[in-house]
Structure 1
Amino acid sequence: MKSKFLLSILTVLFLSVNSSAQEVTVAGATFPTKFKISNQVVEYNGAGLRQKYFFDLYVAALYVPARTNNAQTIIDQNKESAIRLKILSNKVTREKFVETVKDGFATSSEGKATPSEIEAFMKLFNVEFSEGDEVILLYKPESGVEVYFNGKHLGGTKGLEFKKALYGIWLGKTPADEAVKKAMLGKV
């Protein structure tokens, strides 16, 4: 009887430790340690909190085929990867998000995104943002960058050069936020 009781306690402890190892929480935003893109499993590389004027805006998590702290490798590789953004504040509106990403393309030191590609990409975000929303920017070599908003597919933009420019917003030589870049690269 005691051995069955001890075994059940150990099983519960193992399952709770094992399930918590499947997720990572950063600034209250929880992310899985792995997920599938097409038939490829990508791994959590790191995540950083974007703040402005003392407000927590969002957490950006990076997923790659194999963990690395080399931003240029991530930007340049033509393999499945993703950036997941969890919105933490109602201050992140659709309009501010679109404006910020457009500004990010203007300062991105990577890849090439034409004005028409950027405009078409930004039109995908025709939804209202609120606290708790999730934006996933998936990259697939065969189809390019695909956008998901709270699990709903909004569309995408083809091309590795576009992906490089987009990832350059967070990971390039002139990132939107150096602390977020370091955290996404696991350097904190």
Structure 2
Amino acid sequence: MSANDYGLPRSVQVGERELDINGYGKREILFFDAYACALYLARPSSDASFIMSGDISTAIVVRVLANDPPDEFPDKWDEILRQEISGRAYRRLEKAFERLSTGDKIQFLYGPGQGTRVLLNDKQVVSDPGHGLMVEILDHWIGSDPVSIDLASALLAR
């Protein structure tokens, strides 16, 4: 299936930069489609270390595929979010996550000097001034111990 078939855009705007899709894939849990996600960069790269350590514009877009998505953060996300964002921002994001349904779009957008923004269905839920939140989000998908090796390879277009 193409990225478009999953409802993932070919490009994403982060500040003044247009980022193109680097790779995309689908996460399955117990034989069910959970979500599709894509990594967006200004220039293609398969180097996870560079993507995570470089102060470069980056985006991750997630499209919920599950018919009954979970109403709470996965444990790993919970740890990341509690460390990286304020308690108030955490509660806003938690409340938005509780209302997730099939077809919803979650965007994690980072731009140097702009920080990281999290959008749900194109509405900003949280912003964080630094790069740390985006690094942790990227680590979840393309880091040394990704949630899925197959998905990490797809996002890095290996």
User: What TM-score range do you get, normalising by the shorter chain?
Assistant: 0.7 to 0.9
Check if 1:57 corresponds to 2:28. Answer: no
Render the CA deviation track for 1:82-118: whole Å, top value 9, x for unaligned. Answer: 00000001332331x3545226x3xxxxxxx773637
Could you tell me which residue of structure 2 aligns to residue 123 of structure 1? 91
Measured after TM superposition, the shift of residue 119 of structure 1 is 5.1
Change (3 A) 1:77 1:93: same
2:78 counterpart letter in structure 1: K
Measured after TM superposition, the shift of residue 159 of structure 1 is 1.4
| Structure possessing the higher radius of gyration over alpha carbons | 1
Could you tell me which residue of structure 1 aligns to residue 121 of structure 2? 150
Give the whole-Å Cα distance in 2 for the aligned partners of 1:115 and 1:99: 13
Could you tell me which residue of structure 1 aligns to residue 44 of structure 2? 67
1:56 counterpart letter in structure 2: D
Mean Cα displacement is larger for which, 59-68 or 137-146?
137-146
Measured after TM superposition, the shift of residue 120 of structure 1 is 5.2
Question: Would the aligned equivalents of 1:169 and 1:176 in 2 still touch at CA under 8 Å?
Answer: yes
Question: Would the aligned equivalents of 1:46 and 1:61 in 2 still touch at CA under 8 Å?
Answer: yes
Change (3 A) 1:118 1:172: farther
63, 77, 82: which one pairs with 1:86? 63
Check if 1:134 corresponds to 2:105. Answer: yes
The structure that is helix-richer by fraction is: 1
Render the CA deviation track for 1:8-45: whole Å, top value 9, x for unaligned. Answer: xxxxxxxxxxxxxxxx8249403222232111111100
Which consecutive aligned stretches of 4+ in structure 1 deviate over 6 angstroms post-superposition? none
Matching of residues 158-169 of structure 1 within 5 Å = 158-169=129-140
> Once the two structures are aligned, what percentage of the paired residues are identical?
23
TM-score, normalising length: structure 1: 0.73
Check if 1:38 corresponds to 2:9. Answer: no
Give the whole-Å Cα distance in 1 for the aligned partners of 2:69 and 2:109: 21
TM-score, normalising length: structure 2: 0.86
Change (3 A) 1:116 1:167: closer
Could you tell me which residue of structure 2 aligns to residue 173 of structure 1? 144
Change (3 A) 1:102 1:27: farther
Could you tell me which residue of structure 2 aligns to residue 184 of structure 1? 155
Change (3 A) 1:184 1:154: same
Give the whole-Å Cα distance in 1 for the aligned partners of 2:47 and 2:29: 26
Change (3 A) 1:50 1:73: same
Question: Would the aligned equivalents of 1:147 and 1:153 in 2 still touch at CA under 8 Å?
Answer: yes
Structure 1 unaligned residues grouped into runs of 5+: 1-23, 106-112
Structure 2 unaligned residues grouped into runs of 5+: none
